[in-house]
Amino acid sequence: MNYHDTSRRFMIDNSAIRGEWCLLESTYQTVIAKHNYPLEIQGLLGEMMAAAVMLSSTLKFEGRFTLQARGEGPIQLATVECTHDKHLRSVARWQGDIEGLGFNELLQSASLAITIEPDKGENYQGIVPLEHGNLSQCLEFYFQQSEQLDTRIWLHEGNGKAAGLMIQVMPFNSADALNVDDEAQAEDWQRVTTLADTLTAEEHLAISAEELLHRLYHEENVRMFDAELIDFKCSCSKKKMSAALVSLGKEELLQILEEQEQINMNCEFCNTNHNFDKVDIHMLFESSSASNDGHTH
């Protein structure tokens, strides 16, 4: 089986510890090929993509999960969206020469918004300051402060790939977690995280989940769940772009077309252009008017 562009959930039996693993290759390469990203941006987006896949996997929902970093430094915006069925898209905006800059230099005075948008139900958003040394530490801090869950995250990017590993104590309402006493849980946590700290970036980016977990936990009973496929998919469409144009009004759009031959709508995520000329604009409003008439009673 090709283990690239997949995520796997696992549990360590007889403990209150669960985990997530993912490895991205073609999905990651598709994202960074959409724009001429510097290496520093590629590294950040790769880590954010791996993190978004793993964090969304811990949720039981249908909808969209978003990680969005905004700051006052060279990186003004970095966004990753991941749907419940593992469709990813991502984009970043930056300014100036960022060669050689580290995480905190790139994201000065920045915060990370974690947003859950279920298809049914209310949205949720948590905010975490990006004040720690890397993205993993910032996310670990978020879980400790906001969710009160012991969580460790390892993120790596390189050689055209991005990988993630997350280990977490299960919530206290979990039946498995309730069956483990505090002392045993602390010992399990110390052992499992210490072993995971021996993981190298080279290993993480090169081997399958089965091999990686066997290397780390060959003395444990690790239960692995089915792999989930990950791919790049942008939700933009000419229909959505058309709706955005209609909201501006016909007169304003025709005034714009007096100055230029076409109105160009560009999707930042997939870098796809959608062009509209005068004929398109007239047709948009004819169809919009017909639709409104059809809903008149």
Higher pLDDT, 288 or 239: 239
Assign 228 a pLDDT band (cuts: 50, 70, 90).
very high
Write out pLDDT tens, residues 100-112.
Answer: 999 999 999 999 9
Give the pair of three-digit tokens for residue 112. 């990370």
Give the pair of three-digit tokens for residue 155. 């993120």
Determine the Cα–Cα distance for residues 27 and 190; give it in Å rounded to an integer: 34
**Annotation: CATH topology of 238-294:** CBS domain Like (3.90.1280)
118 within 8 A of 63, measured Cβ to Cβ: yes
Residue 140's nearest CA partner among 106, 182, 162, 112 is: 112
Determine the Cα–Cα distance for residues 190 and 264; give it in Å rounded to an integer: 55
- Hey, is 257 helix, strand or coil? helix
pLDDT, residue 287, reads 67
Residue 26's nearest CA partner among 267, 272, 234, 232 is: 232
Assign 289 a pLDDT band (cuts: 50, 70, 90).
low
| Domain boundaries of the chain, sorted by first residue | 6-232, 238-294
Please calculate the CA angle 66-72-78 and round it to the nearest 5 degrees.
25
Any bridge partners for residue 127, and if so which? 113
Residues 6+ apart with CB under 8 A from 94: 38, 41, 74, 75, 76, 106
248 within 8 A of 261, measured Cβ to Cβ: no
Please give the single-letter amino acid code of residue 123: N
Whether CATH 3.40.50.920 fits 6-232: no
CA dihedral of 170, 143, 126, 163, whole degrees rounded to 10: -90
Which residue is associated with the tokens 């915006």? 77
Write out pLDDT tens, residues 52-77.
Answer: 999 999 888 899 999 999 999 999 99
| 188-196 mean pLDDT | 95
- 238-246 helix and 278-294 helix, angle to the nearest 10 degrees: 80
Rounded to the nearest integer, the mean pLDDT of the chain is 89
Determine the Cα–Cα distance for residues 157 and 135; give it in Å rounded to an integer: 12
Backbone φ/ψ region at 6: left (φ over 0), alpha (ψ -120 to 50), beta = beta
Give the pair of three-digit tokens for residue 46. 């790769």
Question: pTM of this prediction?
Answer: 0.84
Whether the pLDDT of residue 172 is over 80: the answer is no
